[in-house]
Amino acid sequence: MLFHKIKYFLEIAELKSFTKAAETFNISQPALSKQMKLLEEELGFPLFNRSVRGVDLTDKGQSLYQDLKPLFGQIERTIHNYRDHDQIRFGSTPMISSYFIHRHYDKLVQTNFHVTTIKDDSRDLLPLLEADEIDAAIIQDEPSSSNLYSKFLFRDNFLAAVPLTSNLASLEEVTMEQCMEKTQIIPPEGSLTSQLKRIMEQKQFKGEVIETHYHAMAGLVSLGLGIAYLPEIMVQQIEYKGVVFLPIKGQPLARDMYLYAVTLPILEFLSDKLTK
């Protein structure tokens, strides 16, 4: 039994017309009728009741249609995943690879999706997209770029990483004013640093600032050296001894993540995989 015969059968059942189905597949009606006769012979029972009013399914034909329709849709989606995307070269950051991409791996593993490039700053991936060295990437706080397709993916709020020994640790949430009473542990550069320095200036912060890499900040917090701010996608998946993570009132620290791709089909394909 051939795949295309089932496809023809489903289309005739959907349209209730051999003529319209033949037009859909750009074949002659006699050729389509012959394929259905062969399918009926293979199955051993009739599929259609033909009359001057058109085409109706037999009882067995209707049952077969209801069983095959969802299965065939899944087969088509699976074939589409393998056929239309030979390979997707994905650019990422260590954090996106570690704390976001793996959550969708079960949907990506059936495709030729490969993380081929890692950059500490996602904005460094933009030139690689423009040079066609990668096919897609997640870029922070850059809504669009010429000659590329982009789409908002998600907002990632930052939580305050507070030492368990701090008087703030027992609170349900903290304010930026409360956080600014402590030493600030921040990255040396980047969007978070810019946001924090702007808030420090507004609140006339005069305290101590310690600059260190993202992955070292929680360690310094656990030693009681100050307060840091970590993205929610990371906090949801880690536990750090001696550190409690608290929401910040009003969510003043956040980053917007955008999915980029070199073609619209790749953008839509990955958007479907990464948002469900």
The predicted structure's pLDDT at residue 27 = 81
d(CA 75, CA 134): 28
Confidence (pTM): 0.65
Domain closes at, from 41, 59, 83: 83
pLDDT tens track for 19-63:
888 888 778 888 888 889 989 998 999 999 877 677 889 999 999
pLDDT at 188 over 80: yes
Residues 196 and 235 in one domain: yes
| Residue 161: other Cβ atoms inside 10 A | 22
Residues 44 and 97 in one domain: no
Residues 165 and 177 in one domain: yes
Domains: count for the chain:
3
Tokens standing for residue 82: 């393998």
pLDDT tens track for 113-157:
889 999 988 999 999 998 889 999 999 999 998 888 999 999 999
Residues 160 and 246 in one domain: yes
Residues 46 and 179 in one domain: no
What CATH number did the domain enclosing 113 receive?
3.40.190.10
Residues 268 and 140 in one domain: yes
Mean pLDDT of 197-211: 92
Residues 6+ apart with CB under 8 A from 248: 157, 158, 159, 160, 173, 174, 175, 176, 179, 229
Cross-strand partners of 164: none
Range of the domain at 212: 156-254
Domain closes at, from 83, 100, 135: 83
Residues 221 and 105 in one domain: no
Residues 52 and 97 in one domain: no
Tokens standing for residue 151: 């789409």
Domain closes at, from 28, 55, 83: 83
Tokens standing for residue 222: 């656990």
Residues 200 and 245 in one domain: yes
Residues 99 and 78 in one domain: no
d(CA 194, CA 42): 69
Residues 6+ apart with CB under 8 A from 179: 160, 168, 227, 248
Residues 24 and 57 in one domain: yes
Residues 24 and 50 in one domain: yes
